[in-house]
Amino acid sequence: MAFFQALIDNPFLLSAVIAGFLASIVSGIIGSYVVVKRIVFISGGIAHSVLGGIGICLWLERAKGISWVTPLGGALIAAVIAALLIGWIHLNHRQREDSAIAALWSIGMAAGVLFISQTPGYNVELTNFLIGNILWVTPEDLYFLAFLDAVVLGTVLLMHKRFLAVCFDEDQARLQGLPVEAIYLTLLVLIAITVVLLIEVVGIILVMTMLTIPPAIANLFTIRLSKMMILAVILGMVLSFGGTLTSFYFDWPAGASIALLAGLVYVIIIYSKKPR
């Protein structure tokens, strides 16, 4: 009961729970595409590239006094650019795809660390963006997250059947006359937006946990993508709330608690469903 009383008394904790729910909606939907398309590594490349955009915007805001730039805005721009670059590499240079993605991954992380190191108070900022600090979510962040949620959900509603075709059979989609390359790049941009949402909750290092584990668990119980998405959203909300609850009572970092709980639940379910 102490946790629920704290939700009433502490607006920061309530904002953290709301942010977790907002992130769970889009991560459950987009994460399902990631799992069935088997592009987890590409998603990881996008996730780790965003630190460059975050670092540049933090440096401009804190060191140069440019107040209109924000870390979330920088993360969004960097994520979209990385998604388009990785998508272009995937479509045109498949034989060197892994190396190119690893290079973008490294460049983004290195640039972010360098700019953050030149920013006052960088140690705190770097830790928060790497491992997450959901308790730092502001009302403005919640509005931004809700807006990104609406963009992603609206796009998915319009293009779900096309995404479905590209995820399961690109060759058949081409035969049907669908613009596979454009659809694929659009999907990667949506993944980029989802990554930005999740950074607010669990940080860059743990993004892949929330993007892939709830859909992976859901996939153990259904093979229908629509049901998988609904179940993944529900699981994401439960895991987010449970991780925040755990962090409250044990005084652990919220992002790491959410990721740890998700991983443990996945391992337990895998073991319980293992043929004996």
Per residue, the 3-state secondary structure of 27-38, as one string, reads: HHHHHHHHHHHC
Query: Of residues 62 and 160, which shows the higher confidence score?
Result: 160
Tokens representing residue 175 in the block: 């035969």
Query: Of residues 39 and 267, which shows the higher confidence score?
Result: 267
Stated length of the chain:
276
Number of domains in the chain: 1
- Return d(Cα 213, Cα 269) in angstroms, integer: 11
Q: Taking 60 as the threshold, does the pLDDT of residue 117 lie above it?
A: yes
- Sign for the pseudo-dihedral over CA of 247, 248, 250, 253: positive
Tokens representing residue 5 in the block: 């009383």
Comparing CA positions, the residue from 36, 14, 21, 15 lying closest to residue 225 is 36
- Return d(Cα 267, Cα 164) in angstroms, integer: 28
- Poorest-confidence range of 7-11, 27-31, 120-124? 120-124
Q: Taking 70 as the threshold, does the pLDDT of residue 147 lie above it?
A: yes
b/e map 48-78, b = 16+ CB within 10 Å: bbbbbbbbbbbbbbbeeeeeebbbbbbbbbb
3-state secondary structure of 133: coil
**Residue 136 DSSP symbol:** G
What's the chain's average pLDDT?
Answer: 86
Q: What number is the average pLDDT over the span 221-233?
A: 93
Q: What is the pLDDT of residues 167-195, one digit of tens each?
A: 888 888 888 889 999 999 999 999 998 98
- The residue behind tokens 């629920």 is 4
At 95 the pLDDT is: 57
Comparing CA positions, the residue from 129, 142, 131 lying closest to residue 18 is 142
Q: What number is the average pLDDT over the span 88-103?
A: 76
CATH number at residue 242: 1.10.3470.10
Q: Taking 60 as the threshold, does the pLDDT of residue 224 lie above it?
A: yes
- Poorest-confidence range of 10-19, 39-48, 73-82, 188-197? 39-48
Alpha-helix residue ranges (DSSP H) falling in the chain:
2-9, 11-37, 40-62, 71-92, 97-117, 122-131, 139-168, 170-175, 180-219, 225-250, 254-272
Domain that holds residue 53: 2-272
Residue 68 pLDDT level (bands cut at 50, 70, 90): confident
Residue 123 pLDDT level (bands cut at 50, 70, 90): low
Residue 229 pLDDT level (bands cut at 50, 70, 90): very high
Q: What number is the average pLDDT over the span 195-216?
A: 85
- Poorest-confidence range of 35-39, 132-136, 157-161, 226-230? 132-136
Report pTM.
0.88
Q: Taking 90 as the threshold, does the pLDDT of residue 155 lie above it?
A: yes
> Would you say 232 and 29 are in contact if contact means Cβ atoms under 8 Å apart?
yes
**Residue 125 DSSP symbol:** H
Q: What number is the average pLDDT over the span 201-220?
A: 87
**Residue 251 DSSP symbol:** T
Comparing CA positions, the residue from 151, 143, 157, 153 lying closest to residue 80 is 151
